[in-house]
Structure 1
Amino acid sequence: MTEEELIGKLEMIQRMKSESNILELKSAEKGCPQHLYDSLSSFSNQDEGGIIIFGIDEKQDYKEVGVYDPQDIQKKINEQCLQMEPIVRPLLTVVQKDGKAFVSAEIPGVDLTDRPVFYKGKGRLKGSYTRVGDGDEPMTEYEVYSYEAYRKKYQDDIRGVQRATLSSLNKEKLALYIDLLKSGKPNLSNMDDESIYELMSVTRNNEITLSATMIFSPYPQAYFPQLCITAIAVPGTEIGCIGDSGERFLDNQRIEGSISEMLDEAISFVKRNMKNKTIINPETGVREDRTDYPITAVREAIVNALVHRDYSIHTEGMPIQIIMYEDRMEIKNPGGIYGRIKVDQLGKMQPDTRNPVLALALETLRITENRYSGIPTIRREMEKFHLREPEFADERGSFTVTFYKAGNISKAEPEPEEANNLLVFCRTPRTRKEICEYLGLSSVTYAIQTHVMPLVASGKIKMTNPEKPKSPKQLFYSE
């Protein structure tokens, strides 16, 4: 950062009077802050990195107090950076303004394979942090594990299931799979079945693998009770809404069985809780029946959840969720996006595969294509139904796909009093979650689309990162 750029940052801070997901402010009027480790870790663990500016006192309404000694503070900052693993290499800038010195430390985001960056004094589990809004929060054990799993290429889909045996699998399904594997492959055809089992990870070190259990066992939930789907339909736009007869759920089902059976049952659940309506096709003028959501898109989303969910021990107690609201449907699976791909790149580039053996087996059985066509298909089908584009959200260990019904999102601004209260609340930049909690709602997506985006459209609320409106690091603020 140049001196001119740092001066510009200081001026921006006086206008905004807030921190952000990439900006941390420290006073340092009387000495270097003792514990920079949390921010050094959280900024290093995000792609954008972050900037720590010393010489601004939040407690005094963001007063420019300057730093005690620009030379000594740089030394102290570097000393703390050396206590990180891997070592953090900050870019330091010093500037004079109105007779006071200010220092900025630009913290680069490290490569995914080097994460998490953590404070050595606390260790990897307790010393790893992530940036949430304008604060640093300790990483969960799963978040720490997910980086290690990617770096070391753990294959949780082929971990052994000690209680499972070959005799506990569906023999007909397994035989069909082996026949399909052998088809057109002379080398495989000459091998005995037991050798193919080991080669193709049906077994591993003579133990039945998790992927084989989820595909071929008549009841995988005997071993993993929560590797299932919980599906509910609620009478309103939030969980907790009560129907006309006092009911909390219009439908409620725990969906179990093998992956193919859960897929079929989940689609049946969605079908019976969707409405059918007759419309005039705007392109052909022909009357046709149409469901709330295109079944092809729904199927792709459920398949993606089943194939790409995290199957590690950290999430085996978490089911996939299908929640059908009055205005939308959400499909949530444990485990955020795997690898380097980002939400805005979904369907545009080939992603890393979390469960390659499971994906290949389902492709062989013709349950999935495994050609990375799921997201483009979902988008195309929603467009055919003249519905708004689906939303994909990657939030700290979970991934959510949201489908919206036609005409369900109001473009009108909230009531004046409600809007004014929200504008006051957003004078400090707020995360999606903070706004949702302020409004007393349970759905972040619904809160933002219904209450915030109309104000964004009218220019009353702004985004800190307007080029990437769906960024998980997005903050909303009013002036």
Structure 2
Amino acid sequence: MIEIELQSLVEKIQKVKAESPTIELKAARSGCPTHLYDTLSSFSNQDAGGTIVFGIDEKEDYAVCGVYDAQDLQKRVTEQCNQMRPKVRAVFTLCNIDGKTVVSAEIPSLDVSERPCFYASKGRYKGSYVRVGDADEPMDENEIYGYEAFRKKYEDELRPVERAGIEDFSTVKLMEYKAKLVEGRPNLAKLDDSRVLDLMGMTKDGAPTLAGMLILGEYPQAFFPQLDIIATVLPGTEVGEAGVSGERFVDNQRIDGTLDQQLQEAMDFVRKNIRTSVTITKEGQRVDRPQYPLDAVRELILNALVHRDYSIHIQGMPIQLQIFADRLVVTNPGGLYGRMTVDKLGKAQPDTRNPVIANTMEIMGLTENRYSGIPAVRYLTKVAGLPAPEFESKNGEFRAILRLSKSENLARKLSRRGTGLSELAAETNNPISYGAPGIGLGMSAVQMLQEKDSHRNPEAILEYCRIPRTRKELSEFVGLGSGYTMQRYVNPLVREGKLALGIPEKPNSSKQTYRAVE
């Protein structure tokens, strides 16, 4: 930074009147602050680094107060930098504003392999900090372990599973794995089975590894109860928002089993709980169009299963699959690994946290392992007319988000209010037609509002329920997702007393049935 850049930075600070993730302010009019180690640590531990600006007083409306002694300030800041591990090499810049001296200390980012930077007197686990907004927060044990795992190349996926033996592998999966493994690998075909399993990381000294159990195990959750997926459908746009009947969840399921089983069941859950519109082409062909491109959803769930953090520190945290009214979210424990950052996703080859799991999933034909997943998700959402996918890595979690298009959201809101196509046209002051929707509504959004379908009026539903029907049967009858069918069509009839619950004491039971009241 040169003098004119520091002057410009001071003007910007006074304009916004706030610190930021990369800017820390210190008045230093009476002496050098004595506890800079938290900021030195947090700036060093983030990719953008940061700058400490001395000579601006927040309490005086961000006025320039000037430092007490620029020469002595630099000396004492350097002394504090030398107390960090690794040592911090600050770059100083001075400028004069209205006859007062302002000093900046630029704190460079450390390479991931050298993190965390910590205050030597407190030690690694108490002296490491992370920047959260404009505050410096102590790093938790998981964050520190993540850096150490990368630096020392820990192989959490290869740790032996206590209490498990080779007999805990599924015989069917083991045979399938061996058959696919030796295809095109003649050298492996010559070795005995126990040697092959050890070489490929499925066992270690004859005992199943975590990777082996998750891929070949009969029931991995017997040893790792939380290494599964918690899937929920929420009635609104925020956790805790209740639905029309006071329900917190429209549907929820704990999905366990091996990784391929979890992937399949998670996709079944998504298919069941998102809307699918049907269009008929001019040639008379039926085209199904789900709310979210299913191949993109599959990639996100697969990425979570393969790349989550399997360390002992957070093996008690499951993956979360959440379907909100306006978005689908997949969250997995463990932020991005190594030097990968959100802005580089899909553009640079990443460090792989779990190479054995990734390689084995490729052998089993479940993934290509060619780093094409994120680009594929971006392309599929673009083709589907959805907003670009969003990715977040913070607080020890990685989150992928798919959002509905604006037209889908508008249609959803209007349908909840019971607004039809004519009202939609009036509200938006646009004509609506199937050939060229005036407000850019896709066929799925328009069809979602077509309540004249013979299976979607109350009389048809009541007639269908002259004998008890399950949620699945009602969903298939109406032709929409289970959650939407219940919220939009079935629950109102229950509240009106026209449908009776088969299990009234457990309204949210998965075995619930609905019968028309005579």
Letter in 2 for 1:56: I
Task: Tell me the number of residue pairs that the alignment of Structure 1 and Structure 2 aligns.
Answer: 410
Amino acid at match of 1:263: L
Q: Are the equivalent residues in 1 in contact too, given 2:263–2:301 (CA < 8 A)?
A: yes
Match of 2:317 in 1: 318
Equivalent position SS for 1:25: strand
Query: C-alpha distance in 2, partners of 1:299/1:96?
Result: 57
Taking the aligned partners of 1:317 and 1:45, their CA distance within structure 2 comes to 26
Q: CA offset at residue 184 of structure 1?
A: 2.1
Residue aligning to 2:384: 385
Give unpaired runs (5+ residues) of structure 1: 412-479
Q: CA deviation at 1:90?
A: 0.5
- What amino acid does structure 2 have at the position aligned with 1:33? P
Tell me the CA shift for residue 310 of structure 1: 0.6
1:162 positional shift: 1.2
Corresponding position: 1:376 with 2:375: yes
Residue aligning to 1:336:
335
Give me the whole-angstrom Cα distance separating, in 2, the residues matched to 1:42 and 1:118: 9
What TM-score results when the alignment is normalised by the length of structure 1? 0.83
Equivalent residue runs for 1:144-159 within 5 Å: 144-159=144-159
Q: How does 1:395-434 map to 2 (within 5 A)?
A: 395-407=394-406
In the alignment, does 2:227 pair up with 1:227?
yes
Match in the other structure for 1:298: 297
CA distance in 2, matches of 1:9, 1:387: 38
Corresponding residue number in structure 1 for 2:43: 43
Aligned to 2:122: 122
Find the aligned partners of 2:102 and 2:293 in 1 and give their Cα distance.
56
Name 1:268's counterpart in structure 2: 268
Instruction: Tell me how far apart the structure 2 counterparts of residues 29 and 244 of structure 1 sit (CA, whole Å).
Output: 59
For 2:72, the equivalent position in structure 1 comes to 72
- Residue 247 of structure 2 corresponds to 247
- Aligned counterpart, 1:345: 344
Q: Which moved more, 1:125-134 or 1:172-181?
A: 172-181
Letter in 2 for 1:144: I
The change in CA–CA distance for 1:345 and 1:101 in structure 2 (over 3 A counts) is: same
In the aligned structure 1, how far is the partner of 2:201 from the partner of 2:77?
50
Shift of 1:407: 2.3
Cα 1:380–1:9 change in 2 (3 A) is closer
Q: Which is worse superposed, 69-78 or 345-354?
A: 345-354
1:13-162 pair list within 5 angstroms: 13-162=13-162
- Which structure exhibits the higher relative contact order, with contacts defined as CA atoms closer than 8 Å and separated by 6 or more residues? 1
CA distance, structure 2, for counterparts of residue 383 and residue 55 of structure 1: 48
Which one-letter code corresponds to 2:125 in the other structure? L
Give how far 1:207 is off: 2.3
Q: CA 1:285/1:144 → structure 2, altered by over 3 Å: closer, same or farther? A: farther
C-alpha RMSD over aligned residues: 1.8
Provide the rounded CA distance (Å) in 1 between the counterparts of 2:122 and 2:24. Answer: 21
Residues in 2 aligned to 1:101 and 1:316: alpha-carbon distance in whole angstroms: 52
Task: Tell me the equivalent position of 1:362.
Answer: 361
- Indicate if the aligned counterparts of 2:304 and 2:331 stay in contact, CA closer than 8 A: yes
Is residue 207 of structure 2 the alignment partner of residue 201 of structure 1? no
What are the superposed Cα offsets for residues 141-200 of structure 1, whole Å, 9 maximum, x if unpaired?
111111111111111111110111001110221122122222222221111111111111
Output the CA distance in 2 between the equivalents of 1:342 and 1:325: 26
2:288 aligns to what SS in structure 1? strand
285-294 or 52-61: which moved more? 285-294
Q: CA deviation at 1:316?
A: 0.3
Q: Is the 8 A contact 1:327 1:408 kept in 2?
A: no
CA contact (8 A) 2:49 2:107 kept: yes
Alpha-carbon distance change, 410 to 272 in structure 1, aligned in 2, over 3 angstroms: closer
Q: 1:203-223 deviations in whole A, cap 9, x for unaligned?
A: 113321000000111211111
State the Cα distance separating 1:293 from its structure 2 match.
1.0
1:351 and 1:191 mapped to 2: Cα distance? 32
Cα distance in 2 for partners of 1:322, 1:331 equals 5
Which amino acid is the alignment partner of residue 268 of structure 1? D
The worse-fitting range, judged by mean Cα deviation, of 343-352 and 81-90 is: 343-352
Give the SS at the match of 1:48. Answer: coil
C-alpha contact (below 8 Å) 1:336/1:395 kept by paired residues: yes
What letter matches 2:18 in structure 1?
Answer: S
How far residue 397 of structure 1 moved from its aligned partner, in angstroms, is 1.0
* Contact 1:328–1:405 (8 Å) recurs in 2: yes
Cα deviation 1:212-244 (Å, max 9, x = unaligned):
000111211111110000001011111222222
Give structure 1 regions of 4+ aligned residues with deviation exceeding 4 angstroms: 279-282, 284-287, 408-411
1:34-58 Cα offsets, whole Å, 9 max, x none, are: 0000110111111221111111111
1:302-327 deviations in Å (ceiling 9; x for gaps):
11110011100111010000111111
Shift of 1:93: 1.7
Larger radius of gyration: 2
Q: CA deviation at 1:280?
A: 7.2
**Aligned partners of 2:64 and 2:97 also within 8 Å:** no
- Contact 2:194-2:206 within 8 A present in 1 as well: no
Change (3 A) 1:54 1:11: same
> 1:97-143: per-residue Cα shift (whole Å, max 9, x none)?
22222211111111111111110011111111111111111111111
Q: Percent identity of the aligned residues?
A: 53
Q: 1:36 to 1:297 in 2, by over 3 A?
A: same
Equivalent pair of 1:116/1:128 in contact (CA under 8 Å): yes
For residues 32 and 410 of structure 1, do their structure 2 counterparts lie closer, same or farther at Cα, with a shift above 3 Å needed?
Answer: farther
Give the secondary-structure state (helix, strand or coil) at the position aligned to 2:406: coil
- Cα deviation for residue 259 of structure 1 reads 0.7
Which secondary structure does the structure 1 equivalent of 2:401 belong to? strand
Cα distance in 2 between the residues matched to 1:38 and 1:298: 40
Write out aligned runs for 1:183-202 (5 A): 183-202=183-202
Which amino acid is the alignment partner of residue 38 of structure 2?
D
1:367 positional shift: 1.3
Is the CA contact 1:90–1:106 (under 8 Å) kept in the aligned structure 2? yes
Letter paired with 1:36: L
Check 1:409–1:89 CA distance in 2 against 1; reply closer, same or farther (3 A cut).
farther
1:333–1:400: 8 Å Cα contact kept in structure 2? yes
Aligned counterparts of 1:370 and 1:131: Cα–Cα separation in 2: 33
**Quick one: distance in 2 between partners of 1:132 and 1:385?**
35
Q: Distance in 1 between matches of 2:279 and 2:398?
A: 33
Partner SS state of residue 361, structure 2: helix
> Distance between the aligned counterparts of 1:14 and 1:402, measured in 2?
35
The answer to whether the 8 A contact 2:43-2:131 is kept is: yes
CA contact (8 A) 1:169 1:217 kept: yes
Determine the C-alpha separation between the residues in 2 that align with 1:174 and 1:128: 44
Q: Does structure 1 retain, via aligned residues, the 8 Å contact 2:391–2:398?
A: yes
Q: Distance in 2 between matches of 1:133 and 1:280?
A: 51
Asked if 1 retains the 8 angstrom alpha-carbon contact of 2:166 and 2:206, the reply is no
SS of alignment partner, residue 92 of structure 1: strand
